[in-house]
Amino acid sequence: MAKVTHKPVHYLRQIKAAFSLTGPVNFALFFPAFLPHAIHHHSHWLPQSPLFGYSIVSITGLSVLGAGVLFMLLGFWLLTASAAKLSEADGTISSHDPPKALVTSGPYAYIRNPVTYSIVLLIVGEGVLSGEIGILVFGGIYWVSMIMVMGWEETDLKRRFGGPYGAYWAGVGAWIPRCTPWEPGVTSIL
């Protein structure tokens, strides 16, 4: 019988990388306590007098609340899926511990920067839920700063992975997700 060996999983490394980013920490620590505040803060959505003993949430208020929660859930899902793909390539979401191989599957088959995209979704979700324009402005500032950082990261990826990264770069957009997953040899971003 052949001996089965398993690749060691570095959980501590993954956890350290996850908590090195602002977005995941904000989501994990503050979102559970933040949702009740958001509902209370937007209590003007509730009518002053209950109908048949029940308070009715306005369609607009419910829509805004739903949009905020949707942005946060999508951001958290995208961050988790991205981290899982990076982990398969022996890397983490931290730029200080990049993957050893080029990752082009999972969320990376649709968009080149799913981790940054997910954090922007989380920040926008927080801004929508809180109704605070300052959080949305922070999200914009974060996005612009990440565009600058991406220039450095993409130069490093071109150096490390050469031609395969060039083909990936040509076929997958940085901020506008593809409609279909990217496959090597396909340069269309749709």
List, for residues 22-58, the tens digit of each pLDDT value.
Answer: 555 555 555 555 555 555 555 554 444 444 444 555 6
Structurally, how many domains does the chain consist of?
1
Q: Is residue 176 part of a domain?
A: no
| Max Cα–Cα distance, the chain, nearest Å | 75
Give the pLDDT of residue 77.
Answer: 93
Measure the CA dihedral 142/148/150/151, to 10°: 180
6 in a structural domain? no
**What's the rounded Cα separation, in Å, for the pair 146 and 23?**
13
Q: Is there a domain that residue 178 lies in?
A: no
pLDDT of residue 41: 57
In a domain, 189, yes or no: no
Flag whether 188 is in a domain. Answer: no
49 lies in some domain: no
Q: Decide if 3 is inside a domain.
A: no
Over range 11-17, report the average pLDDT.
54
Q: Give the pLDDT confidence score for residue 99 in this predicted structure.
A: 87
Is 128:122 a contact under the CB 8 Å cutoff?
no
The domain containing residue 104 runs over which residues? 12-42+56-171
Q: Evaluate whether residue 187 is within a structural domain.
A: no
Token pair belonging to 21: 């980013």
- The answer to whether 143 and 173 are in contact (CB under 8 A) is no
pLDDT at 165: 93
Predicted local distance difference test score (pLDDT) of residue 92: 81
Look at residue 1 and give its three-state secondary structure: coil
How many angstroms separate the CA atoms of 45 and 59, rounded?
9
Asked whether the predicted pLDDT for residue 14 surpasses 60, the reply is no
DSSP 72: H
- Would you state the structure tokens that stand for residue 69, as one six-digit string? 């929660």
Backbone dihedral angles phi then psi of residue 54, each to the nearest 5 degrees: -120, 140
Question: Band of the pLDDT at 108, cuts 50, 70, 90?
Answer: very high
CATH code (residue 25): 1.20.120.1630
Mean predicted confidence (pLDDT) in 163-170: 92
